[in-house]
Amino acid sequence: MPSDSKAAGAKPLAGTRILIGNDDGIHAPGLKALEEVAHALSDDVWTVAPEVEQSATSHSLTTRRPLRLRRFGERRFAVDGTPTDCVVVGVNHVLKDRRPDLVLSGFNHGGNLGEDVGYSGTVAVAMEAALFGIPAIAMSQQREQEKPVDFAPAKAFAGGIVRQLFQSDWPRDLLVNVNFPPLDPDQVKGVRVGRTGRRDTQIGVVEGSDPAGRPYLWIGDFLRHHSDDEDSDLGLVARGYVSVTPLHLDLTHHAGLERLKGLLE
């Protein structure tokens, strides 16, 4: 930690402009918890979040209708769009005088582990920031089944992780996905870096009928993890660690590149 951060009242990332987003919406308790963490790091903290929940909207962008920006505080705004819309509006409009130095997303209500990463609006906030060339960290608080989310582990560990990552050399295009286990902070085993995992069961559909007797299908039989892949984000959080996974936006399968060249060229 730099010595200036030990001075009374000094914030570790003083002067750093932080933009916060999420996919659970402007009123989400997880957003407020992340705002508290960010305010302990810097005085230049801004929030642009969806007006209503946008979980599992992934990296979608609204292009066929106008967006409305509503102000909820001096540095708090909501957009009636997706998490990605919020980053675009935040960077290009709300903070057009000076871009953010760092984008934080979360704290999501529930983990974003394994296959979740592809559906997550929380992770998409960080993806969009990476497209702008801005360092970004997505953070999610894993929940116990059927219990309300307790953000105590996220609040205990996020500030230190954000500071350490931001003050390191940040490779262009890197975004970071962080998940906190659902434990008392003093029960958390530590911080581990791991790859994105893969669950050993598939997502399912629940069949039912509405009050008029018409059948519906509801995607609601969510993925469960049973494998013992200890080094993935899934395995690390299941074993009580905070998991940290570096991601990038290049989806190219590099081994496949050579295979397809040999096949088609």
Which residues contact Mn ion by CB under 5 A? 23-24, 55, 108
Query: Distances from the Cα of 174 to the Cαs of 21, 132, 220, in angstroms?
Result: 18, 11, 32
Q: Strand 136-141 vs strand 215-221: parallel, antiparallel, or unpaired?
A: unpaired
For Cα atoms 105, 109, 112, give the angle at the middle one, nearest 5 degrees: 70
Q: Measured from the CB atom, is 11 or 109 closer to Mn ion?
A: 109
Could you tell me how far CA 239 lies from the centroid of its own chain? 21
Q: How far is the CB of 2 from Mn ion (least distance, A)?
A: 34
Q: Measured from the CB atom, is 42 or 58 closer to Mn ion?
A: 58
Q: How far is the CB of 108 from Mn ion (least distance, A)?
A: 5
Q: How far is the CB of 170 from Mn ion (least distance, A)?
A: 25
Buried b (16+ CB within 10 A) or exposed e, 70-82: eeeeebbbbbebb
Q: Measured from the CB atom, is 24 or 128 closer to Mn ion?
A: 24
Q: Measured from the CB atom, is 24 or 51 closer to Mn ion?
A: 24
Q: How far is the CB of 159 from Mn ion (least distance, A)?
A: 21
Q: Burial level of 141, CB count in 10 A (0-12/13-18/19+)? A: buried
Could you tell me how far CA 189 lies from the centroid of its own chain? 22
